[in-house]
Every structure is written in structure tokens, then in C-alpha cells.
Chains A and B, each alone.
Chain A
Amino acid sequence: MSAVTPKIRLRGVTKAFGPKVVLNGLDLDVWPGESVVVIGGSGTGKSVLIKNIIGLLHPDSGTIEIDGQEVTHMNAREREDVTRKFGMLFQGAALFDSMKIWENVAFGLIQAEGARRRDAKEKAIATLARVGLGPQVGELMPASLSAGMQKRVSLARAIATNPEIIFFDEPTTGIDPIMGSIIDQLIVSSVKDMGATALTITHDMDSARRIADRIAMIFQGRIIWSGAPDEIESSGNPHVKQFINGEAHGPIQMQIRA
């Protein structure tokens, strides 16, 4: 293992918003071609974790390495080169609502890779087909799509440029179970066929088992357990056990009283 450089390596990453410490010395390695799923309760900092890695937020302390390069102190230009390796599906889809669907999907191709509009459109329509959306959807505006369809468009946008590292923030939330497993397959094939590395956040344990090479659980700002999907039942970790069984009582105390 030591000869291989991890795609993503986090060491001691800490992030607080005012007095609220969200990430508290978090360590995580994601190896090339690996699909890691991060699970954890609502508001435990899963989205914040991803935003720190892709540079939308800056950690208060700790180091983040992408392909062995420390990125937290990079200048804007170097950072842009690293960002080119990323694709990101946002939790809230974050489609550009002033553009047609196909323009959303083709955005990275046109802006970052300088593709011609006609070629980019063809590629966009093909990518839309992979997420189960027909070419006529390409001509619509994002506002006229259902939330689940928007998610799928956002997924298409994230994978359209064949990025090396793809982040999926709750890709199947709000999507019917059949389309959910199609999307799971799509994530798996992105990783296996395109050789990408994926970091996925989900609450859906079935989905996590389908797409993960490794599952990591975040709790109180750290990864408290990580292992293969078939080890999770016998993890012996009371937090993990409570989470995957969805028990109201256990070591994880939900903040339901202020």
C-alpha cells in the first residue's frame, strides 16, 4: 500500500463555524480507483468535509493532499489545476437555472475543456441518456424538472468531463428506488469503467452497500470506523450498529432538544 499515493489524504482536518466545531481532527485516505462511502447522522459535517476537500471551504488546521500534493496552501492557479480533476454532485443539485439542461451538462466541457458547442451538446445528450433522461429533457430549463430529475441532471453534469475524482453528496436522496439503483450502478460503472475515484455521502444503507468498496462513518468530527461493506454488520462498533439499524436509543444522542 505504501508505494501507492492516495488520491485523497486528510490528516487532522479541523473546521469550526464560530464556536461550533464540525470537523475535529479528521483523518481519511481514499485510494486510486476506490469508492468510499461516508455515512453519518444529519448535520455531522459530511457536506462540510467534501467542501473542504474541493476547496470551497478552507480547514482551520490539518492537511489535505490530492495525489500527494498538499492543497490547503496553494495559490489560485495551482488550485484551479487540481479542481480540474474533480466532479461534484451537490446535495441540492445546484443547476444553473438560467441555462437549459443540456447547457448545464455541457458546461464543464465548454468552459473548462474548450469543446465546441455542437460537440459538447452531443456529449451532453449522451450523458443525459446514461442517467435515464431523454434528449427532449435537454431543451428544458431546470425549474421545470422534478427534484429527482434535477439530481440526475446534476449527476450527469458531474461525470460529463470524465473527472478523476468524483464527489457525490447524497446522489439517491429524493429518488425512487428503481432509479436509485440505476444511479448506484452508474456510480459503480464510473469508478470501474472510467477508473475514477469516488467519495460518496449517503444515508441509504442499501445504496452504500452497493457502491462502496469501503464505508467510513463520521461522528463528532472524526471517522470513527471504516471497513468493507460486508464487515459493517459485525463491526462491533456501537455507533455504527445504531446507525445502520436506525435505532433511536444508543450512544448517538440526536439533538432533538435545544
Chain B
Amino acid sequence: MPILAPIGRVTIAFFAVIGRVSIFTGHSISHCVRPPFFPRQILRQCIEVGFYSLPVVGLTAIFTGMVLALQSFTGFSRFSAESAIPQIVVISITRELGPVLAGLMVAGRVGAAMAAEIGTMRVTEQIDALTTLSTNPFKYLVAPRLIAGTIMLPLLVLIADVIGVLGGFVVSVFALNFNPSAYLNNTINFLEPIDVLSGLVKAAAFGFLVTLMGCYHGYSSQGGAQGVGQATTNAVVSASILILLFNYIITSLFFTI
């Protein structure tokens, strides 16, 4: 019996969290689609999530594209398949690495910041103050962030796709002596719309998940600075795991059915 009790406790705690997150999610979505909206807040969050993430996402994309070309070359040259490099680069970037790496970087940058900001607002009673000023914190704080995340991450990924392919191109042309126009032709001819589209769908889902986790953990944080720190960690960890989980689910929905 002493073994069963802790297992039961953990299981109950697990489902309690799932329940709380589900309620929070439902509540948040319902406020995203019902007026009043806060355009000023949405715009501010779009700039925060999209514009200010450009450098970190762009750098991640270019180095990933570069290393991808380099690695594929060293691997594929063993069986003289170097000509597949443009295809490898573009398909890996658009389908997988663009959305996943951008999602993870944004989780670290934006998800953490959101959890810290909303968490601090919670423990300093700023969220309570919002309520007393007749402003629903879900509408004012949560909805704009979710909307911004879901819209801006696909845009970021689109840019990351281009930069990533460019990185692969640069390495292939300048270090591996590929013909530039042949490389670009290969890339464009091989690329299917579904490759990019699936990546963008992933990006939208990741953008939602990252901002949702940032808001949820911030909103439910308690107990001062330590609680806010805990919320920040939880937001990044849970967002990262959810990104990898949903990456698998969305991939299997797109490419196996």
C-alpha cells in the first residue's frame, strides 16, 4: 500500500494540472474571440513577440542552415549524393527545424518574459487592480499575448525559412563549390507548398503554446519573487516539451494520413 499512495497522489496531481490548464485555455480562447478587444495591447505584443525575436530567430536559422549543408555534405559525399544537399536543406528547414527551433527560441525569450511579467503583476496585486478598474485581465493581458503569438510565430518562421535556406546556400556555394544557380533551381523545383504550409501550421500552434504557457504559469504564480522564478522556469520547460510533442502530432497528421 505505501507504494500506491504516492502513485495515486502524483496521478491526481497530474490530472488536476491538466484540468486547470484546460479551463485556463478555454477561458482564454473565449476571451480572444469576444469583444472588447485591446488593439493597442495586441500591437504591442506583436512587436514584442515578432519584431524583437527577429535577431535571435534569424541567427538560429542562418547557423542551422549552414551547419545543415556542411553536415549533409560530409555525410552524403560518402555515397556521392552531394547533389541532394539543396533538397535536404530546404525540406529540413521548412518542415522541421524552422518551426521547432524558432518555437524553442521564442519559448526561451518570450514565454519566460511573459511568465515573469504576468507573475509579477499577480504577486503585486496588479491583476487584482485591473479587475477593480473594470478590465478583465484575460482580455487585457492574456488574449493579446495569445493572438500575437499565434500570428507572429508563422511570420517569424517564414523569415527563418528564407534565412535558413540562405545559410545553406552560402556554405554550399562558398565553401563546397556548388553552382549558385543550380543550387537555387534545385531548391525551388523540389520544394512543395505542403512543406512550407505544414511548417507554418506548426509555427502557429507553437506560438499559441508558448504564449499560453507563459500566461498560464504567470497568472497562477504565487508567493513573491521565488514563485515568479518558478513560474518562469515552468513556462519555458512546459512550452518546450509541448512544442516537441505537438511537433510530432502535427507531423503525423500532415504526412502519414
Interface on A for B, CB 8 Å cutoff? 51, 54-56, 76, 80, 83-84, 86-88, 90, 92, 94-98, 107-108, 111-112, 157, 161
Contacts of B135 in A (CB 8 A): 107, 111-112
- Are B125 and A94 in touch, CB under 8 angstroms? yes
Chain A neighbourhood of B120, CB < 8 A: 97
Q: Which of B119-150 contact A (CB under 8 A)?
A: 120-121, 124-126, 128-136, 140
How far is the CB of A104 from the nearest CB of chain B, in Å?
Answer: 9
* Total contacting residues, chain B, CB less than 8 A: 16
**Across the interface, which residues of A come within 8 angstroms of B140, CB to CB?**
111
A36 nearest CB across to chain B (Å): 18
A84:B126 contact, CB within 8 angstroms: no
Cα–Cα distance between A89 and B83 once the two chains are bound (Å):
70
Structural contact, B126 and A94, CB atoms closer than 8 A: yes
Chain B residue, CB-CB nearest to A91: B125
Q: Give residues in B with beta carbon < 8 Å to A.
A: 117, 120-121, 124-126, 128-136, 140
Task: State in angstroms the CA–CA spacing of A155 and B130 once bound together.
Answer: 15
Give the Cβ gap from B241 to chain A, nearest Cβ, in Å: 29
CA distance A175 to B117 in the complex (A): 28
Which residues in A have their C-beta under 8 angstroms from that of B131?
54-56, 83
5 other A-B residue contacts (CB within 8 Å) besides A83-B134, A88-B129, A94-B128: A54-B132, A87-B132, A90-B129, A98-B117, A108-B133
In the complex, are the beta carbons of A51 and B128 less than 8 A apart?
A: yes
Cα A83 to Cα B117 in complex, Å, equals: 25
User: Are the C-beta atoms of B134 and A90 separated by less than 8 Å?
Assistant: no
10 contacts between A and B (CB under 8 A): A55-B131, A56-B131, A87-B132, A90-B125, A92-B124, A92-B125, A97-B120, A97-B126, A157-B133, A161-B133
Q: Among A54, A56, A86, A94, point to the contact of B124 (Cβ < 8 A).
A: A94
List, in ascending order, chain A residues with CB within 8 A of B136's CB: 76, 80
User: Could you say which of B120, B125, B136 has the most chain A C-beta atoms within 10 Å of its C-beta?
Assistant: B125
- What residue in chain A is nearest B128 (Cβ atoms)? A56
